[in-house]
Amino acid sequence: MKLEDFYFKMRLETDPIIDDTTLRDGIQMPGLAVSSEDTAKIVQLLAEIGVERVELFHYQKSDKKAAKMVHDLNLDIRVAAWCRAVKEDVDSALQLDFNEVGISHPVSYIHFKAKWPDKTPEQLLERVIDVVEYAAKDHGLRTFVHGEDSTRADWNFEKKFINAIAEAGAECYRICDTVGIGLSDERAPLPNGIPAKVRIIKKETRIPNIEIHAHDDFGNAVENTIAAIRAASGVWERIYASTTYLGIGERAGNAETEKTIMNLYLQYGVKKFDGKTQRLKELAELIARATGYVVPPNKAIVGDYSFAHESGIHTHGVLNDPWTYEPYPPELVGNKRRITIGKQSGKNVIRHKIVEFTGKPPDDETLMAIVDRVREIYEGGRKASLRDEEFKAILKEFKLI
């Protein structure tokens, strides 16, 4: 069986560009921090897995040091500074030699009333226009504008906002599903229907490019990201997908970079990721070490248990043919198959582990004695899988090693 038997069947008539914000939105997750040195290492590996743009903070001393280290690497990746809609932030980006910026500002009345009760929407829009012109026209920066809370925005105002920032020199508008209420359903209306939003922006505004930034409050961030990309197919020449590695970020986090890449590569045949996915697991481990984030073992694609098998039915199938319970070879993402022993393990997996450690199969009597020994452990209340060292200790009891 080959990957081509099931994958690479779909095609997109748009170029999806991964715009990773792990080092901006991701590290806003409570309890996370990353050093300047690790920031540079992460950006380097992001470039190697096919990410084409990243965005960075640039406010603290360590942020500025990280930005310089990243620039000095001369990587084949675009590096953008995240800015508020104030000229001082743009000045900071200029001082650090950024060539592009993302300017973030709310577009929903919910945010306007909560943050600027004494300002009219028109006054706020004028402020954003002033900053965008300052960045794009006065200083020649490639400028994205992030429409915070787009999925709760009044479309008539948002349309005016997008056309105004396009006129001011912005090259891309980011749809921000700030509280994760976006819907992937083609029938879903504005403001939170993601396909509807993608298409109407093309139809009724003059912005050259579009981006989707989905939060995961309902667990739909990857779904909404892929839905935006599908909706852009045949409509937009390209679409940016703003994601974070491992989905880290504020509250419930964001659409995972690694999930988005694997869906685009395998399910939609985006071949520019060919040969780059083998380092996905390595990058997950780097980010975990660098930030202090603990990767859930059952995390899709990059978790330690993503290709782990313990129950009798599953291990029997996988040992005979990995395709029975694995969607693709673990090596494709730099992961590995793990056969573990636990409460649900039968004699087939235990025989397999004995051969793995001793190099030869046990006789039936010894096998059943070891099976009984394992069951005895779990009847005593054990829950976790046996570590390799623990199983080797059992084999020593039976003088097999």
- Token pair, residue 72, equals 């000095």
Q: Three-class SS of residue 223?
A: helix
**What mean pLDDT do residues 108-135 have?**
98
**What mean pLDDT do residues 129-146 have?**
98
pLDDT beyond 90 at 211? yes
Q: What are the tens digits of pLDDT across the range 53-106? A: 999 999 999 999 999 999 999 999 999 999 999 999 999 999 999 999 999 999
172, 207 contact by CB (below 8 A): yes
User: What pLDDT was estimated at residue 57?
Assistant: 96
Percent of the chain at pLDDT exceeding 70: 100
- Token pair, residue 337, equals 């198959």
Nearest partner of 339 among 325, 358, 327, 359, judged by Cα: 325
All CATH 4.10.430.20 domain ranges in the chain, comma separated: 308-397
Residues in the chain: 401
Q: What are the tens digits of pLDDT across the range 168-206? A: 999 999 999 999 999 999 999 999 999 999 999 999 999
The amino acid that residue 252 corresponds to is A
All CATH 3.20.20.70 domain ranges in the chain, comma separated: 3-291
Q: Three-class SS of residue 218?
A: coil
Distance CA(310)–CA(26), nearest Å, equals 33
Give the CA angle between residues 146, 151, 152 to the nearest 5°.
110
User: What pLDDT was estimated at residue 384?
Assistant: 92
Beta-carbon contacts of 351 under 8 Å, excluding residues fewer than 6 positions away, are 361, 362, 367
Q: What are the tens digits of pLDDT across the range 242-289? A: 999 999 999 999 999 999 999 999 999 999 999 999 999 999 999 999
CATH superfamily of 3-291: Aldolase class I (3.20.20.70)
In eight-state DSSP terms, residue 250 is S
Percent of the chain at pLDDT exceeding 90: 96
Distance CA(134)–CA(136), nearest Å, equals 6
Residue 175 CB burial class (10 angstroms; 0-12, 13-18, ≥19): buried
User: What pLDDT was estimated at residue 179?
Assistant: 98
User: What pLDDT was estimated at residue 346?
Assistant: 86
Q: What are the tens digits of pLDDT across the range 349-380? A: 999 999 999 999 999 999 999 999 999 999 99
User: What pLDDT was estimated at residue 312?
Assistant: 77
pLDDT bucket at 153, cuts 50 / 70 / 90:
very high
pTM: 0.95
User: What pLDDT was estimated at residue 181?
Assistant: 98
Mean pLDDT value across the chain:
97
Q: Three-class SS of residue 376?
A: helix
The domain 308-397: what is its CATH number? 4.10.430.20
What phi, psi does 306 have (nearest 5°)?
-60, -30
229, 222 contact by CB (below 8 A): no
pLDDT bucket at 316, cuts 50 / 70 / 90:
confident
Distance CA(147)–CA(108), nearest Å, equals 9
**What mean pLDDT do residues 29-39 have?**
97
